[in-house]
Structure 1
Amino acid sequence: ALQLPASSALVMSTGVIGVQLPIDRIEGAMPDLVGALKADAHGLDAAARAIMTTDTYPKMHSLEGDGGYRLAGVCKGAGMIHPNMATMLAVIVTDARLTPEAARLALKQAADASFNRISVDGDTSTNDTVALLANGEAGGPIIEPDTLAFAAFTATLTDLSIHLAQEIVRDGEGATKFVTIRVSGLRNDADAHRVAETIATSPLVKTAIYGGDANWGRILAAAGRSGVPFDPEATALWISSVGPRGEGYLPLQQLVAQGAPLDYDEALATVHFEAADILIQLSLGDGPGQAVMWTCDLSHDYVTINGEYRT
């Protein structure tokens, strides 16, 4: 329908696992779909809406780079979200002039800092894709790896990818709260990520967040079973939340120091855990390793959505 070589098309799909796609219907609809394509903001919005499944709103974002190029992206995903990328489809387009190797490396770095740092339910699926397409129409010097221009492009791509990834979490199936988990003080970043991931996928942590219960013991218990060694007496835990007017995080409230609970204000801790945007900050020593994960709570609606998925 596009009069292009078959190798120039990327095929993506999602749906009930194991159920074959209705190829005849897809082929029959192709001429109308091609005729509806638009190379403008309306086309971007239409594409974002077309790929929605249990998403409740379309997800898109755009940025302009310092080199005069632009980037825009759409994505979908709300359930079965967990590294590596899970049931997530994303397409990012740019008019920057990139070598194929530069595009591949930049996308890998951006995905590792964004789409591979989110978890809705700790489950993954058989379908996941993030694609970067570059047409070079912005002109200028070609961007190659290991250059300042490459570093700048990768930073912009990462910012765009983080925004899209966070939108997936905010729209997680049944989600009522968005949670940032920061872990530091371990031997390396991989250890910190493992701890953050264990906390982010803990049903007990996620249900406590849903209920507005600042049950910090569940956070430390998850860290303890992560398999990463650390000194319990070096543990410190803080929480915060975005204020009611969206003015950024409120001052950190420390709940644990040197592995022991402090005489903290329980009512204030409850206020943080009842907020829509929560921060959990955990230090497990004085090592250089650090990581961040973004997750959400686990609600009754998540069970309903997935319990009735095919009905």
Structure 2
Amino acid sequence: MSLPDGTPAPRAFLFADPAAHSLSPQMHRAAFAHAALPGTYEARRVPPADLAAAVAGLRVPGVLGANLSLPHKEATLPLLDSLSGAAQAVGAVNTIVHRGGQLHGDNTDSPGLRDALSDAGYSWEQGAEVIVLGAGGAARAAVHALISGEQNVTVVNRTLERAQAIAADWQVPDADFQVAALPAHAAPWESAALVVNASSAGLNDPDQTPLDAAFLARVPAGALVYDMVYKPAETRLMREARAAGLNAENGLGMLAHQARLAFRAWTGADVPVEVFLDALNARPAREG
């Protein structure tokens, strides 16, 4: 597809602080090429003080929208015209879609995690026990994804009050799921089918872990440990999980799936997730 002479290509962005480390540009550039669509994608460092101006700049013609990463996923909410059900439930936005001067906020992290877990072989048996580590925006997206699949979730966080705040938001009478908050020593490790690290522990530090290996030893053999961290590709949590006889995956699959959903929202093109994964696997060595 070509544009008339002099017409600039549609643009999309990532707003983050920092932003230089992002793998999103190479994924979306590969998607534009696969779909034979004109378009550019740029990662921009946007300090919190500049966020409102950057979001307002998305309203001009020719802009498709933007992805949001730390620390902007929650702060952007009041700057938008509408929100998807997922964005409202999670309380965070990672994708802004521009349509005719209006900005719509969505959260593709939640369905992206669901798709990534399915790819990793998770069976989604109703009522399965899942433990989520962390209590920030990523943990909220993880809990939303899991309860949409009717999983019982226990949130574990160093500060128990923050985990309790997440659990309190999903106390639904007669629901087909339960969300609880417990200290690590009281969590149901012996019955866990899945452990999700939604904390930043291990990010850029392969020797850091969010969890003592003694807890992993209590998890049934063959269960899945999904670390939403994707850099480094092999975290200490993953290594110790495998040593305990568990399956382990990093967050690259979630990164690719959430990008695919954002690209589809911007362009209408349903590009296979393999295009995004191939772009990640071809990343320069400096990206780690």
**Could you state the TM-score of these two structures normalised by the residue count of structure 2?**
0.27
Larger Rg: 1
Larger RCO, structure (CA 8 Å, separation 6 or more): 1
